[in-house]
Amino acid sequence: MKELTRKRILVTGGAGFLGSHLCERLVAQGHDVLCVDNFYTGSKDNIAHLLDCANFELMRHDVTFPLYVEVDQIYNLACPASPIHYQHDPVQTTKTSVHGAINMLGLAKRVKARIFQASTSEVYGDALVHPQREDYWGHVNPIGPRSCYDEGKRCAETLFMDYHRQHGLSIRIARIFNTYGPRMHPADGRVVSNFMMQALRGEPLTLYGDGTQTRSFCYVDDMVGAFILLMNCADDPGGPVNLGNPHEVSMREIAMRIVALTGSTSPLETRPLPADDPWHRQPDISAATRLLGWRPDTSLDEGLLRTARYFRARIAASQQPLPQAGAGASVESAP
């Protein structure tokens, strides 16, 4: 890469699911990448293969505290994103979204960097508009068990837009719809990881509600490509941009697909629907297509096959016997 196009790029939450894939892509492009993570939900395993790269650096840091570095671009991905993780410590989740945004925006203002915010389709809540467009303001419970995440991300969007209007900061906001793929945490409680692990272990697949609620699933490689396009887009989007796969499927359908492609005999088991769980999720991505020339191109079946291979490997690794003490290796717990 020519020195004029090589950038110093900060990725907060860089050891997480999306963050690690983003770091990997940026390193491969030749940029100098600083991965920042407090490892609350991220894992060193996700970025271990990057540690020997001369243009990759890892820093343990919590974004609720200020960070003083010199960079050209900032991708702010730091925040637990699955209900199990963000509801475990809801106050910290809100602080990560709000204080983290303030600290990263302050850094961007100081060093005159463009900054990207990983927002979420959850800002739409239990949407009354379908599919969801960026001009829809949402239908969100501000005091429910999911509010720490939903409202935290909504507040972060407010801060980004106000820094843009008040300080002229160059910002990009991505409203990310359901994304899946390798490096998902096997116990994060999300649809694909839940169904995969249950199917591969021969356990019943847990459907919440009657299984007719829908989601739209985007493979991680497609999503990371959209992040980079949005960050480097010459035109100011003027606000948030939906990123996701507009192909909508029901929970029952994706459960049956995962059972079939894994060769599992697992039955389906229904449970009550969690509080404030949205009934439909389908992005209108016309803005992303117009601005970025982007549409996801990985089919659901292909993406699920790649994800199943990853989870099979995780399960196989966890069943390996531990090395014997004194045999030239330390005893560590299985991943």
Mean pLDDT, each 10-residue run in order, the chain (335 residues): 78 97 98 96 95 98 97 95 77 92 98 97 91 93 88 96 98 97 89 94 91 94 98 96 96 95 93 79 96 97 96 85 39 27
What's residue 320's pLDDT? 59
Token pair of 34 as six digits: 């600083």
Give CA torsion, residues 210, 186, 119, 89, to 10 deg. 90
CA pair distance 38, 116, nearest whole angstrom: 19
- Cα dist. 283→144, 173, 227 in Å? 23, 15, 16
Residues classed as catalytic: 149
What's residue 321's pLDDT? 57
Which residue ranges make up each domain of the chain?
8-184+218-245+283-297
Report the topology of domain 8-184+218-245+283-297.
Rossmann fold (3.40.50)
What's residue 147's pLDDT? 86
Residue 243 near residue 177, CB atoms below 8 Å: yes
- Cα dist. 239→162, 174, 198, 205, 257 in Å? 11, 9, 39, 38, 36
Who contacts 124 (Cβ-Cβ below 8 Å, separation ≥6)?
132, 136, 138, 139, 140, 175, 278
Q: Can you name the residues that pair with 216 across neighbouring β-strands?
A: 248
First to last CA, the chain: 36
What's residue 81's pLDDT? 74
Token pair of 216 as six digits: 């739209």
Q: Can you name the residues that pair with 219 across neighbouring β-strands?
A: 180
